[in-house]
Chains A and B, each alone.
Chain A
Amino acid sequence: MQLNAQQVYLLFQRLGFGADYPTIKSNIGKTPEAIFYQYDAFDAPLQLSFEPIALSEMQSLSEEEKEALKKTARQGVIDLNLLWLEKMSASKAPFREKMALFWHGHFACEDKNPVFVQNYCNVLRKNAFGNFRDLVFYIAKDAAMLRYLNNQQNRKKQPNENFARELMELFTLGRGNYTEKDVQEAARAFTGWSFEPGTGDFIKRENLHDNNEKVFFDKHGNLDGDDIINTILDKKECAYFIAKKFLKYFLSEHPDPTLVSEYGAELFNNGYDMEKLTLKLISSEVFYREENRFQKIKSPVELIAQINRLIPLTYDQPKIQLAVQRGLGQILFHPPNVAGWKGGNNWIDSSTMTFRFYLPQFLWGTQIANFSSKESGDDNDPFQLSDLSQYKATPDWDAFAKNIAANDKIGIIREISEWFLGYPIDPQKISFFITASDKKSICQSVAERIIQLPEFQLS
Chain B
Amino acid sequence: MSSRRIFIKKSVLASAGTWLVPQFLGGHSNAFNNKAHDNKLVVIQLSGGNDGLNTVIPYQNDIYYNSRPQIGIPKKEVLQLTDNGGLHPVMKHFEALFKVGDICIVNNVGYPNAERSHFRSMDIWHTASNANEYWQTGWLGRWLDSNCNSSNKSGSLLELDDSLSLTVKGEHIKGLACSNIEKLQKMTAFPFYKQIANQSLQGSPELQYMYKTMLETYQSAEYLQTQISKSLSKGSYPMNKFGQSLKTIGNLISSGIDTTVFYTSLSGFDTHANQQMRQSKLLETLDAGVGALISDLKSQNRWQNTTILIFSEFGRRVKENGSKGTDHGAANQAFICSGKLKKAGFYNALPSLLELEDGDIAQEIDFRQIYANILQDWLFCDHSEILQKSFTPTIIL
Q: Which residues of A are in contact with B by a Cβ distance under 8 Å?
A: 63, 161-162, 165, 170, 253, 293-297, 326-327, 329, 336-339, 342, 344-346, 348-355, 357-358, 368-381, 429-430, 432-433, 449, 452-455, 457-458
Contact = CB atoms under 8 A, between A and B. Distances in A.
A454 B136 contact: no
A327 B163 contact: yes
Interface in B201-243: 203-207, 209-211, 213-214, 216-217, 220
B217 A354 contact: yes
B267 A454 contact: no
Interface string B288-326: 000000000000000000000000010000000011000
A432 B195 contact: yes
A297 B162 CA distance: 21
A337 B267 contact: no
Top 3 A-B residue pairs of the complex, sorted by shortest distance between their CB atoms: A377-B47, A377-B48, A375-B267
7 contacts: A339-B136, A350-B213, A373-B163, A376-B48, A377-B270, A457-B210, A458-B207
Given A376-B267, A454-B214, A349 B47 contact: no
Contact of B207 (A375, A379, A455): A455
Contacts of A375: 47, 265, 267-268
Nearest to B135: A339
Nearest to A294: B204
B79 interface: no
A377 B48 CA distance: 4
Contact of A379 (B169, B192, B272): B272
B205 to A, nearest CB: 8
A442 B210 CA distance: 26
A259 to B, nearest CB: 17
A293 B166 CA distance: 29
Contacts of B191: 433
A374 B187 contact: no
A414 B119 CA distance: 46
A350 B119 contact: no
Contacts of B190: 368
A163 to B, nearest CB: 11
B179 interface: yes
B24 interface: yes
B161 interface: yes
B123 interface: yes
Given A338-B134, A349-B175, 6 more contacts: A349-B169, A351-B162, A368-B186, A374-B162, A429-B199, A454-B196
Nearest to B216: A350
A66 to B, nearest CB: 11
A374 B191 CA distance: 28
Most A-side CB within 10 Å, residue of B119, B122, B161, B220: B119
Contacts of B199: 429
A353 B211 CA distance: 9
A357 B193 contact: yes
Contacts of A353: 210, 213-214, 217
Contacts of A349: 164, 169, 174-175, 177, 213
Interface in B152-178: 161-166, 169, 174-178
A64 to B, nearest CB: 11
A253 to B, nearest CB: 7
A337 B303 CA distance: 38
Contacts of B119: 337, 376, 378, 381
Contacts of B340: none
B338 interface: no
Nearest to B127: A337
A253 B267 CA distance: 36
A368 B182 CA distance: 12
A12 to B, nearest CB: 20
Most buried by A among B165, B184, B214, B323: B214
A348 B134 contact: no
Contacts of B210: 297, 348, 353, 454, 457
Nearest to B168: A349
B49 interface: yes
Interface in B80-139: 118-120, 122-123, 132, 134, 136
B163 A336 contact: no
B120 A337 contact: yes
A354 B214 CA distance: 7
A457 B206 CA distance: 10
Contact of A453 (B186, B187, B196, B270): B196
A270 to B, nearest CB: 31
B207 A454 contact: yes
A161 B132 contact: yes
